[in-house]
Amino acid sequence: MNCNIAVIKGDGIGPEVVTEAMKVLNAVGKKYGHTFNYEQLLMGGCSIDKHGVPLTDEAVERAKANDAVLLGSIGGNTQTSPWYKLPPELRPEAGLLKIRKELGLFANLRPAYLYEELKDACPLKEEIAEKGFDMMIMRELTGGLYFGERKTEEVDGVMTAVDTLTYNENEIRRIAIKAFDIAMKRRKKVTSVDKANVLDSSRLWRKVVEEVAKDYPEVKYEHMLVDNCAMQLVKDPAQFDVVLTENMFGDILSDEASMITGSIGMLASASLNETKFGMYEPSGGSAPDIAGQNKANPIATILSAAMMLRYTFDLDREADAIEAAVKKVLEEGYRTCDIVSEGTQLVGCDKMGDLVAERV
């Protein structure tokens, strides 16, 4: 198979971790007879430096011309980087919001899985970690507060900021359908997270999810308020299968879920539109404090590449091979600095990529 991939290495540790993911993809291609064609694009701070904007229209069009996007990370230190002295619409993260919107990437999938080998790195109590967990957080990605109208103005002599949270029933229905479809391939349970005791948008969310649930009689579903969900993630994460929620709640809960896996460097993600097209990226940030030091954990990006093979190219066997290779490397005791513990062997970012590629 010929697979055309737009590669956005981005800022910070992005170039390092994406390079290792490409190394693993090339190993897959060699073993299974596929060709991966890469087109390098700029987004984030590196695009600001070269073009004056975080994402050019040309880059968007080039991304659309490929089958999928493999993304590293964007942004820098918000306290010291000159990028954050620019207006909000010209900062690195504006490029990320733009590409999600332009590519129609409304469904964000973030798996959170606790590897047996990393239970010691889990910050939860031993009796909780021993039960393990395997969940998929389904986050709506193109609506809600992040895309609503906003303004800051002086009202009666007082500076006042307004952010608008808006959802319509079609936006809610399409992400709910995705969540129930994925639940059918997993353990057939959906937990829909909202704030229906306070927000009108959440009450509509709950109504539409209940309508969608009627078409999936095999799937058990429940509603949970977001504050309770945040508590349950650290109290009993094993209870969750598919967690369905809106944009801001999903942003927060998926980062919480990542940390109970032992490191945000272990968490992959996929952002899908209504076709097979997707953008695949690690859930962590650009980590400018360790950029260029060969300390970054590339596993999340490597696992994101595996998700790309599974969801865009329907190459389940190849995706399984990458996931098995990651597990094998962890079983053998190799660790990057974020997950290292007594009795394990510390390796750098590039070595971790080599190890996974060798075991594909």
Asked if residue 7 belongs to a domain, the reply is: yes
- Same domain? For 94 and 12 the reply is yes
**Would you state the pLDDT for residue 65?**
97
Query: Which CATH number is 254's domain given?
Result: 3.40.718.10
Closest CA to 288 of 21, 41, 8, 75: 75
**pLDDT tens track for 158-213:** 999 999 999 999 999 999 999 999 999 899 999 999 999 999 999 999 999 999 99
Token pair in block for residue 159: 């500076």
Number of structural domains the chain divides into: 2
Question: What's the average model confidence in pLDDT over 222-240?
Answer: 97
- Same domain? For 143 and 248 the reply is yes
Active site residues: 146, 195, 227, 251, 255
**pLDDT tens track for 140-169:** 998 999 989 999 999 999 999 999 999 999
Question: What's the average model confidence in pLDDT over 24-36?
Answer: 98
**pLDDT tens track for 269-328:** 999 998 889 999 998 789 999 999 999 999 999 999 999 999 999 999 999 999 999 999
**Would you state the pLDDT for residue 255?**
86
d(CA 137, CA 349): 27
- Same domain? For 74 and 134 the reply is no
The domain of 4 spans 1-106+267-360
Asked if residue 143 belongs to a domain, the reply is: yes
- Same domain? For 350 and 317 the reply is yes
Asked if residue 47 belongs to a domain, the reply is: yes
**Would you state the pLDDT for residue 116?**
86
- Which residue do the tokens 């129609």 mark? 104
Asked if residue 117 belongs to a domain, the reply is: no
Q: 225, 243, 260: which is the final residue of a domain?
A: 260
**Would you state the pLDDT for residue 62?**
98
Asked if residue 116 belongs to a domain, the reply is: no
Is residue 162 classed as helix, strand or coil in its secondary structure?
Answer: strand
Token pair in block for residue 276: 């097979």
